[in-house]
Each structure stands twice: as C-alpha cells, then as structure tokens.
Amino acid sequence: MRNLKEVVVANYDFDMGILGGGAAGLTIASGSAQLGAKTLLVEKDKELGGDCLHFGCVPSKTLIKTAHVYHLMKYPERFGLPPTEVKPVDFQKVARRIQSVIATIQKHDSEERFCKLGARVEFGTANFIDEHTIQLNGKKYSSKIWAIATGSSPSIPPIEGLDKTPYITNREIYSLKQLPKSMIVLGAGPIAIEMAQAFCRLGTKVFVIQRSEQILTKEDKDMADEVMNVLSDEGVIFYLNASVISAKDMGDEKEVVIKTGQGKTISLRGEIILVAMGRDANLEEMGLKEIGVEFDRRGLKVDRRLRTSQKHIFAAGDVTGEYQFTHAAGYEGGIVLSNAIIHLPRKADYTFLPWVTYSDPELASIGMNEKGAKAAGIKYSVWVEEFKDNDRSLAEGEQVGRIKLILDEKEKPLGVQILGPRAGDLVSEWVAIMNGGVKLSTLASAVHPYPTLGEINKKVAGTFLSRKLFSEKVRKGLKFFFHLKGRACGGSGGELI
Ligand SMILES: Cc1cc2nc3c(=O)[nH]c(=O)nc-3n(C[C@H](O)[C@H](O)[C@H](O)COP(=O)(O)OP(=O)(O)OC[C@H]3O[C@@H](n4cnc5c(N)ncnc54)[C@H](O)[C@@H]3O)c2cc1C
C-alpha cells in the first residue's frame, strides 16, 4: 500500500504581495497578475508611479527640456538668428507643464489599469506582523511571496542647524511657486548636477557644494570635469573639496557656511537650499527586523536572485541600494518575477547596466570606466573620438564631448562612456553590442546613416581597428602580393585614418 504523505498547504490570501507602486513594484505587479498569480499591490502615496514619475525622472527631464529651450532662446545669434528679448521665467507655468506631463503618464500607471490586469491595489502604509502577513489600514493580508519595492528617499545629512532651516529636496523642487533668485545645492551627484544646470539656465544663481574633488564621483574625472566646465561657463559656481559646517534660516535667505578645500570658511546666502546628498532606502517602520529581514541604511541585503534573508521575501529597485535607476528597478522586477512566479532561477547581472546623467551635454556610461578598471586591477586601453570631429555635431552647434571606448588586454570592450549631445540615446547601440557580444569589426563595418551623431560609435571602433588594418605588416603584405608602388607624396609616414 502506498504511503500517503500529508501535504500542508498554507492558505494565504494572495500568491504575490508587493509593497511599493513605483518602477520595480509595478513591473512585478503587472507581470505577476498577467501570469495568473493572485496579486496584491500596496502603495503608501495616493497614486501609483513612484519617485520616477512624480519626483524624479519625469519631472526632471521635463524641466531640463524647458531649461534647454530657454537657454537656446537666450543665444539665437549662435545659430545665425537675430537677437531677441527674452522675458523672465514664470515658474508656475513651468511647474504646470511638468504636472501635465506627469498626469499624461500617470494614466498608464493608474489603479484601474492594474485592476484590469488582475492585481488588487490598496493604498496605505503597511507593516509586517509575521513573515507572510502585513497589516494595512487595520486589516491583515497574507501572501505566499512578498516583494519589497519601497524605493528610496533623499538622505538628509546631520548638518548643524539644517533641521531648523527650511530646505527642499527632489520632492518639492518641481512645484516651487516661483523661480528662486538663488539656490545652494548640497551635493554634486546626477540629481544635483541636472538641477543645478536647469535652474541656472532658467535664471537662478546656483552654488554647488561638493565634498570630494570632482562632481559625479562615479564617473571618470576627465568626463566629470568637462561637465563641470560647461556648467561653470553657464554660471554655476562650484565649491569642491568643501565641507558644509552649518545652515541657518535668515528669513528671505538661508545661510550655508562651508569650509573650502583651501581651509577658508565661507558664508553663502541663497533663497533656497536643495539637499541632494544621496539616498536612503525606505524601510522605516515596516517591521522587517522583527521578521528577520536584514538591512542597513543603504538598503535590503539580497542575494543575486534578489531574495532577502527570508527566502520568500524578495526585493527590487532603489530599496536594494544597488543601482538606483528606473531601468535597474524594472530589470530587477523581471528577475523577481522569474525567480518567484515562473520558478526559473535567474541572477541579477549588472555588468552592462547603462546609466545617464542628463546634463547638457549628457554623460552616458555602460560597463567599466577607467576608474572601475583601475580599481579592479585590469589592464586596459582607451580609444577616443571627439564630437568636434562629428559632422552632425558641428551642424547642431554641439562641440563639447567625446566617446571613450575601454578595451581589455584581449581587446574586448570593457565599457563605453559618452559625453555629448544625445549621449543617452547613443549608448543604446553599445547596450546591444555589449550584451550581444557583437564584434567591434561588425560595428565598424556596419553602414551608419550620414550625418548622424551615431557615427561616432562606428568611428571609435574604426579608429581602434584601423591601427591593425593600416599597419606596416599589412602594407608590406599587400605590396608583396599585388606589387603596390607605395607612397605618392613625400614625408616619412601618414596619420592613421
Ligand atoms: C530627481 C531624480 C531624478 C531621477 N532621474 C532618473 C533618470 O533620469 N533615470 C533613471 O533611470 N532614474 C532616475 N532617477 C531614479 C529613479 O527615480 C529611481 O531609481 C526609481 O524611481 C526607483 O524605482 P523604485 O520602484 O525602486 O522606487 P520608487 O519609484 O520610489 O517607488 C517606491 C514606491 O514605494 C512606496 N512606498 C514607500 N514605502 C512604502 C510602504 N511602507 N508601503 C507601501 N508603499 C511604500 C513609495 O511611495 C513609492 O511610490 C531619478 C531620481 C530622482 C530623485
């Protein structure tokens, strides 16, 4: 007689519960529901969409476009146009445009849409009361699997007096009632730099205070310095190697006292202080410690399959503290779906995760930069092409920037950085090349349309390959086989094409 084994199947309310309705949570919710899992999505704010839609990517890129147009309007002569009188910016109108773009995208992230997909959406602040159950608005909801996708918030440093001084973060900056006359930006990461340039272009006097010796510290110094030079030329004032000593509310103005790299104490006055000094994971008061989920200030501790220390609780997005970008959150959401719902084990791999700082010119990266290669002790070579040698770039009035292709000893691409117009779009070709293991010779021989900025991708690969093609060895071989007669003009040797 067969032994019948009793299987106890716990009866949870849901198959998949998700905390956080931003890029990561929405990816998991839509996938999970469409795959047939009974799905609960919990969002703390009053609308879905998360930071990217409401206080991040969407408003910042909308503002950046407005600032770019205004910047072009101020200098029509650069394009051979007559000078025009440019009126001051009415920030309320700018803020309205920002809100209208958000509202348009919001429809895509609406509660109704997710309900149609099959997910139940609840609003409120949830906390775990055991490993499978949360409490929300006085009710209990249990789920077999959970995903924490609660995002991150601006880090507020313990600066003397800052707690008593009004300041803003990315949550308030897009809905200011008027354009500030002056702004002191604490930090010089991507958010700080994008906002510093945009507000400076709109007419605000901007100061940027940075602890270290360069802005955009993850980037190679030469690229970051060039971004800084552009912003400095436009009027942004930078203090590098500077520490913030204190902040004080002076009424209409706020005072920030800094110690410069040269040891001088300086008092800066600004109408507004923007704090952009990194991000903290949103993990407060969720009862995670009590249920044995490990985390620190940077974020949840996860393995490469994005499981927390409780294997049925996954994490994705900014809350892991890893790569804090919307596309990373979406990617991680997909990894969670694969592991948790499809049961196809998949590990997160960030080797070729691209990122972009939307300064003008943009700075885009994929793979390792020189800093990363040096830190990893990898021998590398760098191949460079300048935008001033790209015909389309000149026609567009864009001369700043370059592409850097970094190759390892075996001449395989380690990474690419592009500083230049539309760098964020240009890096996409490298996303396909590097993820697809496409040979540089394929890129160099593929016909690109002329005149386009994208030709710079082909050109940098060609520059590297042409050294081999036009080598003395090849020349000698061709001369020997086909009786070529050699140089028709003087000089000892030519420049590589
Ligand atoms: C100014 C700015 C500009 C940016 N620009 C870009 C850019 O151009 N490109 C890019 O790729 N990235 C950009 N980012 C980063 C991007 O916004 C984030 O990486 C992305 O939003 C992360 O998605 P997420 O789902 O992890 O978190 P979020 O989008 O923040 O979503 C988390 C959600 O969880 C909710 N939540 C929090 N706590 C709880 C709780 N206890 N219970 C339930 N819900 C909770 C929050 O309300 C939020 O809606 C920018 C960020 C900022 C601040």
Note the pLDDT tens digit of each residue in 221-234.
Answer: 999 999 999 999 99
pLDDT in tens, 274-324: 999 999 999 999 999 999 999 998 899 999 999 999 999 999 999 998 899
**Cα–Cα distance for residue pair 157/258, rounded to 1 Å:** 14
Mean residue pLDDT of the chain comes to: 95
pLDDT in tens, 198-225: 999 999 999 999 999 999 999 999 999 9
Query: Binning pLDDT at 50, 70 and 90, where does residue 174 land?
Result: very high
Q: DSSP 3-state assignment of 148?
A: strand
pLDDT value of residue 480: 86
pLDDT value of residue 96: 98
Of the candidates 447, 378, 385, 448, the residue with the CA atom closest to the CA atom of residue 413? 378
Residue 16 CA to ligand 1 center (angstroms) comes to 20
Task: Work out the number of other CB atoms within 10 angstroms of the CB of residue 131.
Answer: 14
pLDDT in tens, 28-42: 999 999 999 999 999
Write out the DSSP string of 471-485: SHHHHHHHHHHH---
pLDDT in tens, 95-120: 999 999 999 999 999 999 999 999 99
Mean pLDDT is lowest, of 162-176, 223-237, 272-286, 465-479, for 465-479
pLDDT value of residue 496: 39
- Answer whether 46's CB lies under 8 Å from 121's CB: no
Tell me, using a 6 A CB cutoff, whether residue 332 lines ligand 1. no
Query: Binning pLDDT at 50, 70 and 90, where does residue 6 land?
Result: very low
Tell me, using a 6 A CB cutoff, whether residue 23 lines ligand 1. yes
pLDDT value of residue 172: 97
Residue 214 CA to ligand 1 center (angstroms) comes to 26
* Nearest residue (CA) to ligand 1, atom 17: 52
Of the candidates 115, 6, 134, 106, the residue with the CA atom closest to the CA atom of residue 46? 106
- The residues pairing with 229 across neighbouring beta strands, listed in sequence order, are none
Percent of the chain with pLDDT over 70: 97
Tell me the angle at which helices 423-436 and 455-469 cross, rounded to the nearest 10 degrees: 50
Q: Note the pTM of the prediction, 2 decimals.
A: 0.94
Residue among 58, 326, 362 whose CB has most ligand 1 atoms within 8 A, to mutate = 326
Residue 25 CA to ligand 1 center (angstroms) comes to 10
Query: Binning pLDDT at 50, 70 and 90, where does residue 478 land?
Result: confident
- The residues pairing with 273 across neighbouring beta strands, listed in sequence order, are 184
Length of the chain equals 497
Percent of the chain with pLDDT over 90: 90
* Nearest residue (CA) to ligand 1, atom 52: 56
Res 495 pLDDT > 60? no
Provide the sign of the torsion angle of the four alpha carbons 172, 175, 180, 183, taken in this order. Answer: positive
Residue 184 CA to ligand 1 center (angstroms) comes to 24
pLDDT value of residue 8: 54
More confident position, 375 or 493 = 375
Q: DSSP 3-state assignment of 210?
A: coil
- The residues pairing with 368 across neighbouring beta strands, listed in sequence order, are none
pLDDT value of residue 467: 81
Query: Binning pLDDT at 50, 70 and 90, where does residue 352 land?
Result: very high
Tell me, using a 6 A CB cutoff, whether residue 336 lines ligand 1. no
Query: Binning pLDDT at 50, 70 and 90, where does residue 497 land?
Result: very low
Res 59 pLDDT > 80? yes
Atom of ligand 1 nearest to the CA of 151: 27
More confident position, 438 or 8 = 438
Taking residues 395-402, report their average pLDDT: 96
pLDDT value of residue 492: 54
pLDDT value of residue 469: 76
